[in-house]
Amino acid sequence: MGDTNNNELWTDKKRHLGLPISFTRYTLKEDKLIVKRGFLNIVEDEVRLYRILDLGIRKPLGQRIFGVGTIEVHSSDKSLGDFEIEKVKDASKVMELLSDKVEEERQKKRVFSRENMGEDFDGDDDE
């Protein structure tokens, strides 16, 4: 799916009518996702995978016709926050790869979300 020499697991461009004719590029590496936008003025953002909290996918009819989908990313990253990986090829496979890498990084960094802590996290043992 990607170029292993550059530590890239996956890379694609935002697509229009199924064609990668865009100045937005997404790159998944072992520990981060990079979003690069622009032609003359380039803006590059990255989010560490352990900061990704949840993923979702949207495939409206128009996107399905051209074999693309949009991945919704909810993150705790200060600069990017929630964002979308828009109109990429094989979106379901990409989301699965991203989800696996996120879980792997969260385990490596021992990062746990609050939903795993249970309802009674205030330290009291009363019922």
pLDDT at 109: 86
Query: pLDDT by residue (tens digit) across 104-123?
Result: 999 998 877 655 444 444 44
Contacts of 5 (CB under 8 A, 6+ apart): none
Determine the Cα–Cα distance for residues 34 and 116; give it in Å rounded to an integer: 27
Determine the Cα–Cα distance for residues 118 and 17; give it in Å rounded to an integer: 45
- Whole-prediction pTM: 0.81
| 72 backbone dihedrals φ, ψ, rounded to 5° | -90, 125
pLDDT at 106: 93
Domain ranges of the chain: 4-111
Q: Which residues of the chain have pLDDT under 70?
A: 1-6, 113-127
CATH class, 4-111 region: mainly beta
Tell me the CB-side half-sphere exposure of residue 62, using CA atoms within 13 A. 6
Neighbours of 64 (CB within 10 A): 11
pLDDT at 115: 52
Q: Which residues pair with 34 in a beta bridge?
A: 27, 46
